[in-house]
């Protein structure tokens, strides 16, 4: 027995020594790999994480784990602080697993302007958008000649006629909502979150202005022949659960009642859209005209020939992606705007005085007045600067090249960008960069009433890939805020809780924003008090 023990001890020690050697060798390998990746970008200042930002843990841990993974919320949480600490507005991002890679995070307007201008050299990294092909090929998840084909047909659909439809439908829907509140109710308490009203409004506007299906504030429970659920229920369920729909594999429906409902709604919505496609074609033959986006898409498509035409599936893919892009972004931006105005009562008073100077009490705002309401649009812009709807805009280098960036000493320096590098435009950092925005942590809509750096304000992206629906969204947002603020003052439910906090601290406490498909607020109650 003693001999056995004496033999096993060296064996155990040997195993331990081998394990330590392997760990040391692995560590050295990763160290040299990191040196190699940094060498590829000429040792540019970088931040290092163990795992890539595209790893699953990045989404599971939204706040990240220091040194391990960034987390999907890190750009919202960090703002400009990481860049300020480094002294540069472009930072490398080194990850060691699964393969050593170096990407860039960009908060420099000079760099971004070149990236967005040289579209062919910095295309969209299409593989990151494959989940958006759920209904068919579309303008958002494509590049090159495919993107050009889709853009040629989609761009003309966003017309002045459609913008007027957006305005008129927004005014109608908000009027219906306020009527449902009742004239005798001096206070309306939104106890959960204000997007409980902005989401349904945005959904109904999209339904009318994008799909040509007008619905009222009251629930539409009609189920047409050949369907098993109402159109509004389909579109609402999918819009509310879009992240789950994109992420859940088809087999997960066997285990989840919610996934089964989403899958059923998806099939129903596709059937509705195919029917609508046929209906609009028949209407065009009869000479009937519609102003909604779907009808305009079909009309533009009918003017093309052969390979330049979109298939029915591609038309559906585009109208769905326009729904996805325009629904949550507008609804959440309006929710944030109302919260920010509740936090800044002096700014709310200013915008109210502006509204009633253009739209007298007791009157309905007209689309022709939109250009006379720049203060309302400035509130929307400052909200998007403060809390961008899309914090990250990724690009990929199509070849080895260099990009300009501002050196800490103020000079312009060119940095090395190897082919295949992912460059992420860090929108929160850009929008908080004091180089472009004096007092960036101050909520100040007036900064958009004068000159400002348009290259440093990209809530709708920039360049050739800028959002086609920008005007659609702005029109809806201005109409909604004009209607609501003209009749109600928006207040915090517990204003004393925010005393002594900075503006950024107030926003974090009130909104607790997180990144899902877009920047999404958590629960924050507000009170709407009727103006006398």
How far is residue 411's CA from residue 463's CA, in Å, rounded to a whole number? 25
**Angstrom distance (rounded) from CA 143 to CA 120:** 9
The SS3 of residue 332 is helix
Q: Is 106 helix (H, G, I), strand (E, B) or coil?
A: strand
DSSP secondary structure code for residue 310 in this structure: P
Q: Hey, what are 76's tokens?
A: 């919202």
> How far, in Å, CA of 162 to CA of 337, rounded?
24
Q: Which two tokens stand for residue 157?
A: 């659909």
Whether the CB-CB separation of 138 and 320 falls below 8 Å is answered with yes
Alpha carbon of residue 226 to chain centroid: 35
Bridge partners of 104, per DSSP, are 92, 423
Q: Is 61 annotated as a binding residue?
A: no
Quote the DSSP letter at residue 409: T
What radius of gyration, in Å, describes the C-alpha atoms of the chain? 26
| Cβ partners under 8 Å of residue 20, min gap 6 | none
According to the 3-state scheme, what is the secondary structure of 267-294? HHHHHHHHHHHHHHHHHHHCCCCCCCHH
Query: Facing residues of 426 across strands?
Result: 392
| Closest C-alpha to 498, from 348, 343, 347 | 343
Burial class (CB in 10 A: 0-12, 13-18, 19+), 419: exposed
Residue 413, classed as helix, strand or coil, is: strand
For residue 204, what is the enclosing H or E element?
A: helix 195-209
Q: Which two tokens stand for residue 177?
A: 């909502």
Residues marked as binding for heme?
A: 467
Residues marked as binding?
A: 467
């Amino acid at each position: 027995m003693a001999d056995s023990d004496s033999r096993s001890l060296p064996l155990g020690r040997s195993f331990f020594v081998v394990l330590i050697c392997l760990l040391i060798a692995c560590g050295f390998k990763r160290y040299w790999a990191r040196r190699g990746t940094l060498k590829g970008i000429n040792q540019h200042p970088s931040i290092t994480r163990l795992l890539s930002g595209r790893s699953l843990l990045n989404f599971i841990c939204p706040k990240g784990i220091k040194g391990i993974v960034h987390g999907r919320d890190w750009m919202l949480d960090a703002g400009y602080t990481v860049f300020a600490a480094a002294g540069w507005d472009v930072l490398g991002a080194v990850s060691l697993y699964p393969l050593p890679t170096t990407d860039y995070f960009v908060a420099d307007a000079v760099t971004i302007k070149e990236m967005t201008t040289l579209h062919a050299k910095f295309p969209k990294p299409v593989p990151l958008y494959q989940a958006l092909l759920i209904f068919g090929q579309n303008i958002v998840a494509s590049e090159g000649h495919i993107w050009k084909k889709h853009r040629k047909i989609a761009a003309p659909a966003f017309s002045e006629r459609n913008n007027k439809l957006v305005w008129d439908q927004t005014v109608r829907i908000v009027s219906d909502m306020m009527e449902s509140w009742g004239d005798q109710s001096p206070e309306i308490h939104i106890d959960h979150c204000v997007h409980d009203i902005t989401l349904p409004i945005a959904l109904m506007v999209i339904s009318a202005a994008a799909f040509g299906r007008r619905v009222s504030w009251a629930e539409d429970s009609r189920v047409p022949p050949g369907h098993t659920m109402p159109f509004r229920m389909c579109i609402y369920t999918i819009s509310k659960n879009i992240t789950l729909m994109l992420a859940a594999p088809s087999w997960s429906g066997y285990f989840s009642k919610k996934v089964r409902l989403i899958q059923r709604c998806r099939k129903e919505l596709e059937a509705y859209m195919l029917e609508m496609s046929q209906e609009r074609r028949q209407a065009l033959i009869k000479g009937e005209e519609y102003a909604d986006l779907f009808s305009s898409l079909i009309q533009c498509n009918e003017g093309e020939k052969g390979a330049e035409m979109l298939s029915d599936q591609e038309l559906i893919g585009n109208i769905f992606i326009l729904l996805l892009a325009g629904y949550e972004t507008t609804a959440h931006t309006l929710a944030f705007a109302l919260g920010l105005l509740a936090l800044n009562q002096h700014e709310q008073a200013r915008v109210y005085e502006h509204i009633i100077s253009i739209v007298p009490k007791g009157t309905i705002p007209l689309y022709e007045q939109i250009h006379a309401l720049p203060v309302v649009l400035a509130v929307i812009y400052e909200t998007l600067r403060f809390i961008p709807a899309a914090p990250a805009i990724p690009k990929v280098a199509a070849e080895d090249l260099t990009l300009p960036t501002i050196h800490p000493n103020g000079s312009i320096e060119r940095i090395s960008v190897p082919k295949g590098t992912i460059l992420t435009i860090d929108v929160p950092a850009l929008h908080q960069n004091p180089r472009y925005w004096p007092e960036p942590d101050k909520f100040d809509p007036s900064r958009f009433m004068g000159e400002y750096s348009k290259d440093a304000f990209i809530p709708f992206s920039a360049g050739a890939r800028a959002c086609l629906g920008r005007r659609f969204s702005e029109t809806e947002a201005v109409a909604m805020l004009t209607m609501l603020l003209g009749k109600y003052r928006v207040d915090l439910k517990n204003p004393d809780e925010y005393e002594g906090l900075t503006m950024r601290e107030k926003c974090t406490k009130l909104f607790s924003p997180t990144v899902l498909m877009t920047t999404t607020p958590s629960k924050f109650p507000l009170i709407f008090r009727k103006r006398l």
